[in-house]
Amino acid sequence: MSQPLLTATALRRASLDAVLQFAWDADAFTASDVIENVGLTRSTAIDVVDELVERGLLAELPNARAAGEYQKGRPARRFSFRADTGCVIGVDAGRGHLTATVADLHGETRAVGHLAVDASQDSPEDRRRDAARVVDDALRAAGLTRADVTALCVGVPAPVDRNGSSPPHRDGFWRRMNPSFGDLFGEWAPIVQIENDASLAAVAERTVGAAIGCDDFVTLLAGERLGAGVWVDGRPLSGAHGGAAEMVAFDHVRGVEGAWGLGYRAAELARRSLAKGSLPASSALRRLDAAEIDGKAVLTLASEGDAGALGIAREVGETLAVIAGVLGSLFDSRRIVVSGAVAAGAAPLIAAAVDALPRELDLPVPEIVASELGADIVSVGAVRAAVEAARGGVLDLPGFAGSR
């Protein structure tokens, strides 16, 4: 059966989108570059470029002769994508913290806002108020306003479906973590996405981190609670309700017994060892008050060779091996990336996990590596997701309609 012919309007839109996608990733370019890379006729290429300039998405630069690139004959017009014509915001709406990163349309950071919150004060009203505050503070720090925002993405510690909603939970936790953020920010942001935080961490690793070029990997957020962002065959897994790889399954796994994160486990083991007096005399953990012990402190000391902390890291590493074995069995992953704030001191526990992992898995064992993207990884992934959303939707926004 023959395919229906595209209408003139559809053809025009396709040409605009193709040139915009080329320009978004290009440096300075000419109409000839568009013709070569996009495959349009010269007249169409020039007309489309001119329209994108009119819409405010491209800027015309000084021509080749004025830029010092001598050529005979009429100098070529030069253009570039205007990354500053709008901005995107990536938000990490964690239970005890909120981070908002404002970036240009290339994803280059303009400002970052942090807000520590009381995890016990997690009513929907509190969460919405705090999220709006950290976003507005970050915009202010960047010298921008809500009117400058093209797309916004929020990461939450809950499953998220394709409509940006979280399913019911036995104690209402998921919907407290995602108290209709789509409606809140949709009141003024043109494009809004709500995603699971671990899924966004995986986006960050895939685009700028330890999983570039890897089609089969798991990003493990492992601070206080476990969260996993899973990619298989080059695509992220989500599920009907956004619950693919929901870590509550580890409540039923011997050797893990819960979705507590690696940082939480390290801190708990250290406190118990301190209370029992079983830490080596040389361990710096003996000189800390129990209230001062957290996962970062334990793993930092382990990285520095502290005997007591190293023993704890090895024990947590054996738990990581079980987790990696389950994830590797389910998804046949090539790589598992330990991400988040805990990653900075994860080398000792990863070494222990690597030693134990062959006993946990029949398939080829996945590589386990530490992320280098730090504690802001979720907002980094949210920025990348917001950039992609902007790329796909900016031509439909009234602010970039032009006068044609």
Pairing mode, strands 87-93 and 97-104: antiparallel
- Are domains 86-205+378-400 and 212-372 of this chain identical in fold? yes
Distance CA 262, CA 337 (A): 13
In the prediction, which pLDDT does 4 show? 61
Query: What's the pLDDT score for residue 339?
Result: 95
Instruction: Give me the pLDDT at residue 245, please.
Output: 74
* Residue extents of the structural domains in the chain: 8-81, 86-205+378-400, 212-372
* Pairwise CA distance, residues 209 & 117, whole Å: 28
Other Cβ atoms less than 10 A from the Cβ of 208: the count is: 17
Q: How confident is the model at residue 71, as a pLDDT?
A: 55
Task: Give Cα 130 distance to the centre of its chain.
Answer: 20
The number of angstroms, rounded, from the C-alpha of 273 to the middle of its chain's C-alpha atoms is 36
Phi and psi at residue 156, in whole multiples of 5°? Answer: -130, 150
327 conformational bin, left if phi > 0, alpha if psi -120 to 50, beta if neither = alpha
Q: What is the pLDDT along the chain (404 residues), one digit of tens a residue?
A: 555 667 989 999 999 999 999 999 999 999 999 999 999 999 999 999 999 999 999 999 987 655 555 555 567 899 999 999 999 999 999 999 999 999 999 999 999 999 999 988 889 999 999 999 999 999 999 999 999 999 999 999 999 999 999 999 888 999 999 999 999 999 999 999 999 999 999 999 999 999 999 999 999 998 889 999 999 999 999 999 999 878 888 999 998 999 999 999 999 999 999 999 999 999 999 999 999 999 989 999 999 999 999 999 999 999 999 999 999 999 999 999 999 988 999 999 999 999 998 887 788 899 999 999 999 999 999 999 999 999 999 999 999 987 65
The CATH code of the domain at 8-81 is: 1.10.10.10
Annotate the chain with three-state secondary structure: CCCCCCCHHHHHHHHHHHHHHHHHHCCCECHHHHHHHHCCCHHHHHHHHHHHHHCCCEEEECCCCCCCCCCCCCCCCEEEECHHHCEEEEEEECCCEEEEEEEECCCCEEEEEEEECCCCCCCHHHHHHHHHHHHHHHHHHCCCCHHHEEEEEEEECCCCCCCCCCCCCCCCHHHHHCCCHHHHHHCCCCEEEEEEHHHHHHHHHHHHCCCCCCCCEEEEEECCEEEEEEEECCEECCCCCCCCCCHHHHHHCCCCCCCECHHHHHHHHHHHHHHHCCCCCCCHHHHCCHHHCCHHHHHHHHHCCCHHHHHHHHHHHHHHHHHHHHHHHHHCCCEEEEECHHHHHCHHHHHHHHHHHHHCCCCCCCEEEECCCCCCHHHHHHHHHHHHHHHHHHHHCHHHCCCC
Return d(Cα 400, Cα 57) in angstroms, integer: 7
**What pLDDT is recorded for position 72?**
57
What pLDDT is stored for residue 121 in this prediction? 86
CATH superfamily ID and name for 86-205+378-400: ATPase, nucleotide binding domain (3.30.420.40)
Domain 212-372 falls in which CATH fold? Nucleotidyltransferase; domain 5 (3.30.420)
CB of 198 within 8 A of CB of 229?
yes
What pLDDT sits at residue 361?
A: 77
